[in-house]
Amino acid sequence: MARKVLLVCGILSSLLYVITTLLAAMRWEGYSSSAQTISELFAIDAPSRPLVVPLFLTHNLLLIAFAIGAWGSAGRNRALRVTGGLLIAIGVVGSVATPFFPIHLRGVEGTLTDTMHAILTAVIVLFILLAIGFGAGAFGKRFRLYSLVTLVTLFVFGALAGMEGPRLAVNEPTPWLGVFERINIGGYLLWLLMLAVVLLRTQASRQTTTERTRL
């Protein structure tokens, strides 16, 4: 039962992230979800920051809890153990970046905190790609194919978002940056949710087999 609770945290973490971004965008009058990044929702002096920071920290705690559950479910599945370890790392780095290294609002000169935010974000992206890559080998053909499609999506829209970077740096309009980034993050969150569902089904199947064996 404890492991099931931990695995459910994977579903809750993805849902909480999405709900947080929606509520934060509604709280900030004039914010454009299509043109602005999610990082701007918890930027220094952003009106949505007081809401986003505690909820994103909760998301990270739920992610770490899920990762522990995935690790505990791995058994001899080395790929799943590595995936669990990478998800723990994502949760830990995210818990540091969100409250301690936010970016500044557009038009404000960047400082060390902006640089550190970019570095930690790059680390998180790397861990996400590795987690999906190892997770692809943790289960059957269908989940492997789904994971590969997710990776392709992240590479394509990550590149498109990166092309908007120079515009953002000089405070020029970025009409599609928010769309590209949200497709990226949404793809990862959906993959995370599906991983949790697969693990829960696997856990239930093992439990049923064990009960039948005892009978």
pLDDT of residue 202: 85
Say how many domains are in the chain: 1
Q: Phi, psi (5° rounding) for residue 43?
A: -70, 160
**Model pTM?**
0.92
Contact 150, 130 (CB under 8 A): no
pLDDT of residue 13: 97
Tens-level pLDDT at each residue, the chain (215 residues):
788 999 999 999 999 999 999 999 999 999 999 999 999 999 999 999 999 999 999 999 999 999 999 998 888 899 999 999 999 999 999 999 999 999 999 989 889 999 999 999 999 999 999 999 999 998 889 999 999 999 999 999 999 999 988 888 888 899 999 999 999 999 999 999 999 999 998 877 666 555 555 65
pLDDT of residue 69: 94
pLDDT of residue 169: 80
DSSP 111-145: -HHHHHHHHHHHHHHHHHHHHHHHHHTTS-HHHHH
pLDDT of residue 110: 86
Range of the domain at 208: 2-214
